[in-house]
Structure 1
Amino acid sequence: MKYIIIMSFLALVACAKEMGVDDTLPPLASKVELSFDTELTFQEGVKIKVTKVEDSRCPQNTTCIWAGMARVFFTITDKGVSKDSSIDFEAKPINTTVDINGVKYQVEITDVLPYPKNATSINQNDYKVSTTVKKL
């Protein structure tokens, strides 16, 4: 009996590998950190890429009338079809829904780093965006 269970498990793992499941990639619904202009592929084949960050957040240790926001532009791709979208991040998790050929994905942004420290601008390559993509 023990031998049958072990063989069944090994067969299941082999089938998953044959079906193209790459366990080195994160599954959908995992929180990931994206770098600017770097495409991330999930196990399910869905891809996301941060294409631009517009940051108007009030720098630390300054007084502002408005706290500001970071607008994150991204592209999400499924089965070769891409859709551009954006999210206005204001210091708390926020999400949007993206529809690609009738399949809906929820993209949530939980953080945008680095946070501005002074009046100097941040290079696009320095941004890191914490996000979660879920299939609805």
Structure 2
Amino acid sequence: MKAILLLFSLSMLLANACDDTATFPLGESFTLSPEQELVNKSAAMTIKWLEVSEDSRCPKNTNCVWEGQAKVNLLVNGDPLTLTLRNGKPEEAQALVEGYIFTAESLSPYPEGEKIDPATYRLQLIVSSL
């Protein structure tokens, strides 16, 4: 009986050690990359980056009539979520989903006049419980 218990404990330990699923913390800022999928087991939540569907932010060192905005499309537990980042409008960068507040802090790189390679985008995000 002890051998079976020991074998079961060892197999559970190895299974947890092999679980290399990327995780994200609740209530703390973290970075999400294109096509990346992160999990928070305590919240039973999966976030996956789909795309930047719009990036019309005014490039550095230029004068624009409108400051522009960036829209990032995510999947949260399989459901679509779009966060809009716009200077002076932080409320648009927030969304309430399943009792959690999603806040997009920033999207980098910031435009400098040249087209941004989609693979280089990084979203700084906070997910907090209500």
Q: TM-score range by the shorter chain?
A: 0.7 to 0.9
| Deviation digits for residues 56-75 of structure 1 (CA, Å, limit 9, x no counterpart) | 00100111100101111111
Cα shift at 1:50: 1.6
| Number of the residue aligned with 2:119 | 125
Q: Is the 8 A contact 2:24 2:38 kept in 1?
A: no
| Number of the residue aligned with 2:82 | 86
- 2: CA distance, partners of 1:125 / 1:75: 18
- 2: CA distance, partners of 1:26 / 1:35: 12
Aligned residues: 107
Q: Is the 8 A contact 1:27 1:43 kept in 2?
A: no
Extract unaligned runs of 5+ from structure 2.
1-12
Give the RMSD, CA atoms, in angstroms.
Answer: 2.1
85, 100, 105: which one aligns with 2:100? 105
Counterpart secondary structure, 1:52: strand
| Number of the residue aligned with 2:33 | 35
With normalisation by structure 1, the TM-score equals: 0.70
Cα shift at 1:39: 0.4
Q: Please identify runs of 4+ aligned residues in structure 1 that moved more than 2 A.
A: 24-27, 91-94
- 2: CA distance, partners of 1:87 / 1:110: 10
Letter in 1 for 2:109: P
Q: Which moved more, 1:122-131 or 1:40-49?
A: 40-49
Counterpart secondary structure, 2:99: strand
Extract unaligned runs of 5+ from structure 1.
1-16
- 2: CA distance, partners of 1:52 / 1:26: 19
Identical columns (%): 31
| Deviation digits for residues 40-94 of structure 1 (CA, Å, limit 9, x no counterpart) | 11242311112111210010011110010111111111xxxx2101011013643
